[in-house]
Amino acid sequence: MAARQGSGGRKAFRSPFVPILLGDCASPRYLWRVTELPRLADQNAAVALPEPFVKWFGEKGWSPRAHQIELLAKAQAGQSVLLIAPTGAGKTLAGFLPSLTELAVRPRRKPGQARRGIHTLYISPLKALAVDIERNLGKPVEEIGLPVTIETRTGDTPSHKRQRQKLAPPDILLTTPEQLALLIAAGDARRFFEDLCYVVLDELHSLVTSKRGHLLALGLARLRSFVPDLQMIGLSATVAEPDELRRWLVSQNPPGDMAELITVTGGAKPEISILDSEERVPWAGHSARYATPEIYREIKRHKTTLLFVNTRSQAELLFQELWRVNEDTLPIALHHGSLDVAQRRRVEKAMGDNALRAIVATSTLDLGIDWGDVDLVVHVGAPKGASRLAQRIGRANHRMDEPSKAILIPANRFEVLECRAALDANYLGAQDTPPLVNGGLDVLAQHVLGCACGAPFRADDLYEEVRTAAPYAGLDRPTFDRVVDFVATGGYALKNYERYARIRLNKDGLWRVSNPRVAQQYRLNVGTIIEVPALNVRYVKAGSKGAASHGGRVLGKIEEAFLETLTHGDTFMFAGKVLRFEGIRENECFVSNAPGSDAKVPYYGGGKFPLSTYLAEQVRIMLDDPRRWKKLPEQVADWLRYQADKSMLPKRDDLLIETFPRGNRHYLVAYPFEGRLAHQTLGMLLTRRLDRAGARPLGFVATDYALAIWSLGDMGAMFKARKPSLGALFDQDMLGDDLEAWLADSWLLKRTFRNCALISGLIEKRHPGQEKSGRQLTVSTDLIYDVLRSHEPDHILLQATRADAATGLLDVSRLADMLSRIQGRIMHKALEQISPLAVPIMLEIGKMPVNGEADETLLMDAATLVEEAMGPGMVDE
């Protein structure tokens, strides 16, 4: 029988398949039931599982699961499929089954016959995942005895192996989105991919939400243009809007077309609890230090514990604290993205060998890599999103029939509320993955240049091709043309760079790269991951200036911005040690060991993830419903009751604003629960308005839950007199001129511009080894931004920057939703003193850098110090 119906004759061949009717699948011989029957679209479709597979399953005492068979059936019918399943459901095997079964029966290549190209391309967001899959897939392939070659191609693959892969491609190539972009930009791309049948996209839910996803979507559109009946198989964890992913997988010509969907529900419900500590839960802070002994007790009780935290600094602190109480010297390790690679690999290996009892990790271990037997997940700090929590908890016990076990450790009282809300959400199966956004124009620019590096293109064709990718389905032609113009000459109104064009339109109507150097340059800069400028951290002897002692070991990398605030002798935590800052030399930061001392400089870079909209709403609902407080620890419930008594609790859809005097300052505390980014933007805009109204604001701090502004003027009295009214202060029009004016100079926008400039290829990324070019030779993107903004404010890159900022660092879209929600629903409580709910954010004042345009003030302070210390005579000799 034909392997695929309706997929054209290309893959029709005779095969010794043993047909299984899905109707028969209920028999235990063939099917391992999950917890409920999957929806089977075409119950009677025939599925062909080759004999060796049936035998293999039999020998193992297994049966293919319903969704594996269903996916195979749909794939054999020529369709693209999205498989949504929880961890442990056998997603990987399901994704590869169509490829493996097809390769199993493919006729052998006769001598003299042309070498066949890649049959299946597997793309994962993580290098490590690709390596892991190679190992996991290799096993069944070997056991079944399939004549299938599997290889990885990542940034770590040596160049001789890459060259060999080009000449003798493996049947299955496991790679990352960046490598796909590179393969497409090669001159032999079309030939390399001409035999491609399947693309398997792993962890699709995490790929699609970023600019990496945009680049990948464009890459897939290119592959579809090489192989029109290419089939996509997407593997994803549960998401809020599966249809978005279904569209993402297939060509959007015709618009709205979707891949087939298979959903596996169920799996055992995880056992999640919130630590009900005997200790006092702190008002503020993120360390959860109070719970260390209790966490340690749990580690001792379990085989292997995975401890997740939200930031690198939290990981450092927790690791340090655990070792402080580690009387039994249990093997407890640390893993985060800033550590030296060799160090990370050692930890990963030890984990694979089950040699560790606990690992403290940040998001680097987030995605579905199977390592060892984890039987407990501890989540320290609030999870920030229900989906993220589900994902992380899925790491324990990778078998769907056994419940995962997890404990949440809130670091402060608001986090208790957040954990409770997340926990309820997890049981409800609620999902809060962010909605997909339109494709970035900077990413498109990179792709256009990449296409030109591969082969000359016709603008009309490329435009049609790009629009088949879901993120770019709505792209209009003029914008596309401006992007092409940008790639060619920078797209400036002042046509100065025609002679330096990177791509040129030839008489034949084709765009070509001007010279081979352009392609070379492109290859070095491919990708959308922008690294924050960071310095190597290197050990030296205490007290040395570094000049004489180069020999120390590199511990990892730290962001330049953090190091800039340190002064010689400051101590801080990194790589599980307390270190003393000795100085900076070129691209290295020198540190010495400072055992026994406390880290003086706290580093809380803020949570990496803002509170999700969904979870924020859940927290507001909980606050509004005293019946639900019963589920909270007594001390936290007491706190809320006390608040109700002294002030009031915010209603579900209201915004509570408290004002009170303290010391010689006046404070405004607002509780929008919209996440730190949106609050920061709100704080910037409100202080501008309050300044205009004469309140003389001095500064503000923002957390995920609240915003506090302090001023010299009595804001409470001003609101009472309606000068201004709170309604006017929080009016949506602040997102107009105020936002524009503030944005213009904001470092936030400059940082966003930098990313766009790097991704679009306007300037080159810095590479190791080129660091020494020195500050004075590189053109900083801040300077370019200033010049471009004043001379060509409508430039396509500024347009891309503003679009990014709205959804990214500024979270303007979320702020806009909030402002419209609270119209007419602002509750003002003028208090004589601080309220219980305000305590946490008031404690943050002084710990977090104060936001505001205060650079000039700081300079003034420093200059005044000089005058005070030396007298004015110093200045004039």
Partner 1 sequence: MNFSLARASLIAEADLVGIAGERAVCDPRGVLYFPEFRLLAVSDLHLEKGSSLARRGTLIPPYDTGATLLRLQAVIADYQPSVVISLGDSFHDGGGAGRMHSSFRERLEALMAGRDWFWVAGNHDPEAPADLPGETVRELAIGSLLFRHEPSKVRVEGEISGHLHPCARIVQQGRSVRRRCFAGDGGRMIMPAFGAYTGSLNVLDRAYAGLFRLETLMAYMLGNQRTFAISGSMLRPG
Give the residues lining the site for partner 1 (CB under 8 A): 489-490, 492, 494, 496-497, 500, 502, 517-518, 521, 560-561, 563-565, 567, 583-584, 762-764, 774-780, 783-784, 786-788, 790-792, 795, 849-850, 854-856, 858-863, 865-867, 869-870, 872, 874-877
Distance CA 563, CA 593 (A): 16
Nearest Cα residue to 159 out of 189, 176, 177, 179:
179
* C-beta closer to partner 1: residue 38 or 606: 606
Minimum distance of partner 1 from residue 286's CB (angstroms):
17
**Residue that is written with structure tokens 């470092």 in the block:** 747
What is the β-pairing status of strands 17-21 and 120-123?
Answer: unpaired
Nearer to partner 1 (CB atom), residue 21 or residue 875: 875
Residue owning tokens 């419930």: 637
* DSSP calls for 281-300: PPSS-S--GGGHHHHHHHHH
Taking the complex as a whole, how short is the minimal distance between the CB of residue 777 and partner 1, in angstroms?
A: 7
Q: Give least dist CB 43 to partner 1, A.
A: 58
Strand partners, 262: 83
φ/ψ of residue 93, rounded to 5: -60, -40
Q: Which of 204, 224, 234 is nearest to 98 (CA)?
A: 234
By beta-carbon proximity to partner 1, the closer residue of 153 and 286 is: 286
Q: How far is the CB of 107 from partner 1 (least distance, A)?
A: 48
Query: Strand pairing partners for 702?
Result: 707
Based on CB atoms, which residue is closest to partner 1, 37 or 875? 875
| Least Å from the CB of residue 513 to partner 1 | 11
Give the whole-angstrom CA distance, residue 385 versus residue 812. Answer: 19
Contacts of 75 (CB under 8 A, 6+ apart): 4, 81, 97, 98, 198, 231, 233
Residue 241 or 853: the one with the smaller Cβ distance to partner 1 is 853
Which residues are CB-neighbours of 342 under 8 A, at least 6 positions away?
none
| Whole-angstrom distance, CA of residue 417 vs CA of residue 414 | 5
Q: 3-state secondary structure string, 325-337?
A: HCCCCCCEEEECC
**Considering beta carbons, is residue 712 or 860 the nearer one to partner 1?**
860
**Max Cα–Cα distance, the chain, nearest Å:** 98
**What is the smallest separation between the CB atom of 682 and partner 1, expressed in angstroms?**
21
Residue whose CB is less far from partner 1, 84 or 762: 762
Nearer to partner 1, 341 or 850 (CB): 850
SS3 at position 535: strand
Closer residue to partner 1 in complex, CB, 122/742: 742
**N- to C-terminal Cα separation, the chain:** 98
Nearer to partner 1, 167 or 548 (CB): 548
CB 858 → partner 1: shortest distance, Å? 4
Cβ of residue 784: shortest distance to partner 1, in angstroms?
Answer: 5
**Is 432 within 8 Å of 385 (Cβ atoms)?**
yes
Q: How far is the CB of 839 from partner 1 (least distance, A)?
A: 22
| Beta carbon of residue 584, minimum distance to partner 1 (angstroms, whole number) | 5
Rank residues 266 and 852 by Cβ distance to partner 1 and give the closer one: 852
| CA 656 – CA 675 distance, rounded (Å) | 15
In the complex, the smallest distance separating the C-beta of residue 565 from partner 1, rounded to whole angstroms, is 5
Distance, CA of 545 to CA of 590 (rounded, Å): 8
| CB closer to partner 1 out of 151 and 588 | 588
Between 564 and 737, name the residue whose CB sits nearer to partner 1.
564
- Is residue 322 within 8 Å of residue 360, measured between CB atoms? yes
Q: Please give the distance of CA 190 from its chain centroid, rounded to a whole number.
A: 31
Minimum distance of partner 1 from residue 41's CB (angstroms) = 51
Edge-to-edge strand ranges of the sheet holding 577-585: 554-559, 534-539, 588-593, 577-585, 571-574
Cα–Cα distance, 461 to 510 (Å, whole number): 10
Nearest residue (CB) to partner 1, 589 versus 809: 589
Going by C-alpha positions, the residue among 679, 669, 687 that lies closest to residue 852 is 687
With a CB cutoff of 8 Å and minimum separation 6, the contacts of 102 are 3, 11, 119, 197
- Minimum distance from residue 875 beta carbon to partner 1 (Å): 5
Report the C-alpha gap between 350 and 118 in whole angstroms: 34
Is 132 in contact with 370 (CB distance < 8 Å)?
A: yes
Least distance from partner 1 to the Cβ atom of residue 870, Å? 7
Strand partners, 232: 199
Q: How far, rounded to the nearest angstrom, does the alpha carbon of residue 809 sit from its chain's CA centroid?
A: 13
Q: Tokens 């290419």: give the residue.
A: 230
In the bound complex, what is the minimum distance in angstroms from residue 866's beta carbon to partner 1? 5
- Whichever of 115 and 499 has its CB closer to partner 1, that residue is 499
**Alpha-carbon separation of residue 471 from 121, 453, 468, 534, 697 (angstroms):** 21, 23, 9, 31, 42
